[in-house]
Chain A
Amino acid sequence: MNIWDILSDGFFAALAGVGFGAISDPPLKAFRYIALLAAIGHACRFCLITYAGVDISTGSLIGALLIGFGSLWLGRKVRCPMTVLYIPALLPMIPGKYAYNVVFSQIMFLQNIDSPAQRAIYMDMFFSNSMVSCTVVFMLAAGATLPIFIFPKYAFSLTRDKKIK
């Protein structure tokens, strides 16, 4: 287990989370928590996949759960809805490489439509990659949303001012 690999994975995930978050205009005070959540979630998935031999969709589910619970806890601090923190934090886990392979194999399938052997290879590549990308995206969203169902009262009043009650 290489601690340096894990740290650099978390670091780059944090940068990616902040950057993709910036597109959606989050509150400035939320940035540091987005970075923290993105780092923790992605590093967790990285560890699970690399060292524990877990597959990417289960790893994503567990990473997303971690981010979901983290945003429930941190959302209280900055008075932000959970989605504001966890959507940017989830984005670094989007399986871009698989999605790219889907597009690539689709083009190659259409290019090789006349040769059955090649065609079968790209068909297989298309389906396995789209299977992975769709499952991972669903797992990410569902995993991070689960805490809302477990603690609905708490999750719905994150933006409420604590002092008045």
Chain B
Amino acid sequence: MNEEREKIEDIGSFIAEYSAHMMGCGVHTSRVIRSAKRIGVAFGYTVKISVFQKNIILSLADKGTKELYNEVIDIPALPISFEHNARLSALSWETFDKHLSLHDLRSKYDRIVNAPHINPLFVLIWVGIANASFCRLFGGDWHSMGIVFSATLIGMFLRQRMTAAGINHYIIFIVSAFVASLSASTSLIFDTTSEIAIATSVLFLVPGVPLINGVIDIVEGYVLAGFSRLAQAALLIICIAIGLSFTLFLVKDSLI
């Protein structure tokens, strides 16, 4: 392998892109670091990596020639993707086990990253079903389930369209939470579990992935990265609360 060894700067820039992409699409810090190091080892380099919330500092070293490669990369804001998480992790093992060339590695990486994301209509319908089931779990009746279902469709549709239009995600969360809970508040005209309907209608927005990743990062010792994820999740939750409270202000007299 040593004769035709890949250049350190090529490997370095690939690992930089790879790890930034993984951080961006919602992989917890320790996995990113392990996978990046694994790829480095597969090509015979030592990888030192330090991860912050917005950037990654990376340095590759060649023990033999004392060559060094440094890079600071910005983490892009990507939609969360477990598919990328799973397949990019598997790719790092494949590189390690099969000694892929950089060219193969790069083409496999591009194929994974450019594969189609999950269909928005599929997500929309399933999120509606999920929120309706959630309503059921909290003790809502069939009636409120139906209302939560269509209220969620409205909120989620708005979220998808606004995300596609590139609007600031705090505003997206406030508006979607407001519209979804306003739609669910129409359940007040029935003698049904409307409080549960309003409460569950906004839950599709809960940023579960950063929330749980944050706790994982903290318990694994990446306290800074963990807290930054939690802070981000907390801000989004506050946005949901703001949107919900607009609705509650409008209908609070009916709730007590």
Chains A and B in contact, CB within 8 Å: yes
A12→B133 contact, CB < 8 A: yes
> At the interface, is chain B mostly helix, strand, loop or mixed?
helix
Contact of B86 among A84, A107, A141, A165 (CB under 8 A): A84
How far does the alpha carbon of A8 sit from the alpha carbon of B135 in the complex, in Å?
13
Q: A114 an interface residue at 8 Å Cβ cutoff?
A: no
Q: B225 an interface residue at 8 Å Cβ cutoff?
A: no
Contact code string A137-149 (vs B, CB < 8 Å = 1, else 0): 1101110110000
Instruction: State the interface size on chain B (CB cutoff 8 A).
Output: 63
Q: Output the nearest chain B residue to A84 by Cβ-Cβ distance.
A: B82
A19→B209 contact, CB < 8 A: no
Give the residues in chain A near B90, CB-CB below 8 Å. 79, 159-161
B123→A107 contact, CB < 8 A: no
Determine how close the nearest CB of chain B comes to the CB of A39; give it in whole angstroms.
11
B138→A96 contact, CB < 8 A: yes
Contact code string B138-154 (vs A, CB < 8 Å = 1, else 0): 10000000000000000
Q: Output the nearest chain A residue to B119 by Cβ-Cβ distance.
A: A22
Q: Say which size band chain A's interface belongs to.
A: 35 or more
Determine how close the nearest CB of chain A comes to the CB of B97; give it in whole angstroms.
5
How far does the alpha carbon of A160 sit from the alpha carbon of B187 in the complex, in Å?
50
Give the residues in chain B near A161, CB-CB below 8 Å. 90, 93-94, 97
- Stretch of B40-48, B59-67, B193-201 contacting A (4+ beta carbons < 8 Å): B193-201
Contact code string A51-79 (vs B, CB < 8 Å = 1, else 0): 00000000000000000000000000011
Residues of A within 8 A of B (CB): 8-9, 12-13, 15-27, 30, 42, 78-81, 83-84, 87-88, 90-92, 94, 96-97, 99-104, 106-108, 111, 137-138, 140-142, 144-145, 156-157, 159-161, 164-165
